[in-house]
Structure 1
Amino acid sequence: MTKGPTRLDVAVGYATPRKGLPAAASFRRWAAAALAGRIREADVAIRLVDEDEGRALNRHYRGKDYATNVLSFPAELPEGLPPGLRLPLLGDLVICAPVVAREAAEQGKPLNAHYAHLTVHGVLHLLGWDHEDDTEAEAMEGLEREILAVLGIDDPYAGESR
């Protein structure tokens, strides 16, 4: 595995019952894998939410009135900081536990593997990766496959067609 960040702080908050959810250590491992070889220092916050909070956040920030699996909020540094100052704050992820559980069941995927995939996917968004067009999507999905393979997790896109 490629060497990870020299300093990684991943804060994991559970705003929904923890029963059946991965441990904070798992989210940290998945985030570290996504960041390995890509960034030296990072502060990331991951919040697991219920469907109501997920829907409210998606509606407020994206104008979409439904809960989605993961939302990524890249850090925006305040104005007035000295030019060239680099802070390790990468951003926040919000993962909607009921949506993730429903998707994993519908897709026949192990729940932890789906959480790992969405954590990696969200962290890549924090790093600036996107999937707005087919070319970007293919590149991002390829990187996700590589990271997940290092973690011993099967291709999350196997069987899908674009």
Structure 2
Amino acid sequence: MEPRSSRPGRAPAETRAVTAGPRREAPPEVDVSVILAAPGWRAAVPRVERLARRAAEAALREAGRGGAITVLLAGDRELRRLNGRHRGKAKPTNVLSFPGAAPPHLGDLALALGVVRREARANRRPTHAHLAHLVAHGALHLAGHDHLHAGEARRMERAEARVMRRLGLPNPWRGAT
């Protein structure tokens, strides 16, 4: 073969690059910080900070969004306080999402250890899988998803299932009623 020639039926590399189709953009920059406020999380979920970070990153990538999120892994008492202050409900909840004030900060998530463990047990799911699902759920909220209407809820559930599949975890909606 002559220099700079190609095999029959094959275009030179320079031509292939130009005609290969639209260029893919680099994925948006994602920055997830995890704050461990309740040490019991480490006993409940091995490598909990890593799992929370991976779940948030996967959810933002699923939504095609970049930005920064902080995940607070707290206890029930802290979530009861936050839920009372911001939603007027005097009880802990599994996850709260707080939208950020300005880009690139998308917002903050807070999760309650006791609530997450009780819900996982009640639904016969591993605690680590339930945590990942709730982090993904909260991150999708910060990325613009919602579930106020049936169509929105279905789209969000599908996005959550895709995130869980990417993490190698079970679909939280399979078998749900």
Structure showing greater Rg? 2
Any gaps of 5 or more consecutive residues in structure 2?
Answer: 1-24
Distance change (3 Å), C-alpha of 1:129 and 1:38: closer
Aligned to 1:124: 140
Asked whether the equivalents of residues 91 and 126 of structure 1 are also in contact (C-alpha less than 8 Å), the reply is: yes
Q: CA RMSD for the aligned pairs? A: 1.8
Identity %: 41
Any gaps of 5 or more consecutive residues in structure 1?
Answer: 78-86
The structure showing larger relative contact order (alpha-carbon pairs under 8 Å, at least 6 residues apart) is 1
1:104 aligned to 2:116? Answer: no
Give the distance between the partners of 2:169 and 2:149, measured in 1 at CA: 25
Matched residues, number? 150
SS at match of 1:29: helix
Aligned to 2:16: none
Distance change (3 Å), C-alpha of 1:5 and 1:62: farther
One-letter code of the match for 1:128? G
Give the distance between the partners of 1:111 and 1:95, measured in 2 at CA: 12
- Using the size of structure 1 for normalisation, the TM-score is 0.85
Distance change (3 Å), C-alpha of 1:42 and 1:98: same
Going by fraction, where is helix more abundant, 1 or 2?
A: 2
- Using the size of structure 2 for normalisation, the TM-score is 0.78
Aligned to 1:81: none
